[in-house]
Homo-oligomer: A and B are copies of this chain.
Amino acid sequence: MDTSPMWYSCNCGGLLQLVQDFRALDVELLKRQFHERRAERHTLMASGVWRYKELIAPDLPTPYIVSRNEGNTGLYQSERVRSFTGVRQLWLKAQSENPSGSFKDNGMTAAVSHGRSLGYRKFACTSTGNTSSSLAIYAATAGLTSVVLVPDRDVALNKVLQTLAYGAQVRTFTGTYDDGIRWLDKYAEAEGLYVCNSVNPYRIEGQKSIVFELAQDLNWTLPDWIVLPGGALSNASALGKGLHDLYTLGFIDKLPRVAVIQAEGASPFHQMIASGGDALTPEVKPSTVASALNIGNPPSWRKARDVLHLTNGVTAAVSDNEIMEAKLLIDRSGIGAEPASAAAVAGLRKLVNEGAIHSEETAACIVTGHLLKDSDALRTYLDLPESIQHVRLQS
C-alpha cells in the first residue's frame, strides 16, 4: 500500500494528467485481444473499461479493481434523430445504459480502484447528481464509505434518492457545484477523503474507454465528428486523451473533430472559445434545465481547450428550449436521455444549421445519462395530466 497523499492539481493551477508509456504495446495483438475479450462475461475483462486495461491503468493490480460490468453500452442509429440533426449518418452511444445510468461509471471504476490501491476507505465527490450516484454504486460494491456533497438546489431529486439508496452519506450545502469543488480541494486530504471528481486523473483514464469502445464498435474507424455535452468538461478531456492514445498508437489513422455543447445558462467555456479568448471567466450563477450541465466554473477547461486544439474542434451553446426539443425526439425514438445528453443532439443540429458541420459529414453523439435519471424534467415537459387519457373500460 502506497501511503503518500493523492495530488490532483499542479502548482500552475491546472489539473494533473497521467502520462503513460505505451512504447511496448503491439497494436494488432491488442486489437485481437480486445475482440476476444468481448466474448467474456462476469470476469474483469468483460468490463467495457477493463477490456482496455493496457491503455487505462496497466500497472494497477487487479485485486484492487472494483468493476460492475460497466460499458458494453448500445450504439444506436435513429433515422428520426439523424434527420433532425441534418448529418448524413449519426450514431448515438448510450452510456446511459451503464449500471448507475450515466457515463460516469466508465471513469469511476478506475478512480475508486486506484484509491483502494492507495489504501483509502473513504471516497468523496461533489456533484450535481450523476457523479454521486456513480461513486455510491462503486463504494457500495466494494464495501467502502462514500461521502457526497450536493448543492441544495437545481439538482435532480431522483439522483439524490439513488445515491442515498446505495448507502452514501449525502451532505447538502447552500452553494454551487463549484463551491463544493473548492471545499474538497482544501479539506479532503486532511479528512482522509479520496476525491473522485474529475480533477482525479484516473477518472479521465477510465473515461477514455468510451471512445475506445466506440472505435472498436465501428471497427476502428471513427465518424467525422464526436459531439458531447460540456459541464465540468471531464468528458471532453477524456475523449481527447482517448483519441490521442488511439491515434498515436495507430488504432485509428484519422482523428475525428470534437464538438463540445454547453447549455446557454452555463456556457463559460463556449464563450471563451467563441470570443477567441484563452482564459475562462466563470459563470457565477449558472442556470439550466439540464442539471448535469449546471456548472459555472468547469475544472477541466484547460484540458478541454487542448482537445479542441488537437482535433480542430468547435463549441456551441444551446437554449433550454432547444435541449428539451431534442430530448423529446430522443425519447420518442425509444433511446431516451436526460436533458444534458440531449444538448449534444441539439448542438449538432445547430452546428449543421450554422454550416460549421457539413451535412455530408458523419457524427456520433454521446448519450450521457438515462431518461429515468431526471423524472422531474419529464414531469415538466410531458404536461401531466393532460397527456394521459382517462378511459372507462366497457365490461
Contacts and interface: CB of A to CB of B under 8 A. Distances in A.
A160 B159 CA distance: 18
A27 interface: no
Contact of A334 (B141, B157, B183, B186): B141
Interface stretch (A55-63, A271-279, A304-312, A365-373): A365-373
B172 A332 contact: no
A152 B384 CA distance: 14
A349 interface: no
Nearest to A157: B375
A338 to B, nearest CB: 11
A167 interface: yes
Interface in A38-78: 38-42, 68-69, 72, 74-76
Interface in A353-374: 370-373
Interface in A138-185: 138-141, 143, 149, 152, 157-158, 160-162, 164-167, 169-175, 179-180, 182-183
Given A39-B39, A140-B331, A140-B334, 16 more contacts: A38-B38, A38-B39, A41-B72, A42-B74, A42-B75, A68-B334, A74-B99, A137-B334, A161-B378, A164-B382, A164-B384, A165-B336, A167-B332, A173-B392, A370-B372, A372-B372
Interface of A: 35-36, 38-42, 68-69, 72, 74-76, 80, 94, 97, 99, 101, 136-141, 143, 149, 152, 157-158, 160-162, 164-167, 169-175, 179-180, 182-183, 186-187, 216-217, 331-336, 370-373, 375, 378-379, 382, 384, 387-395
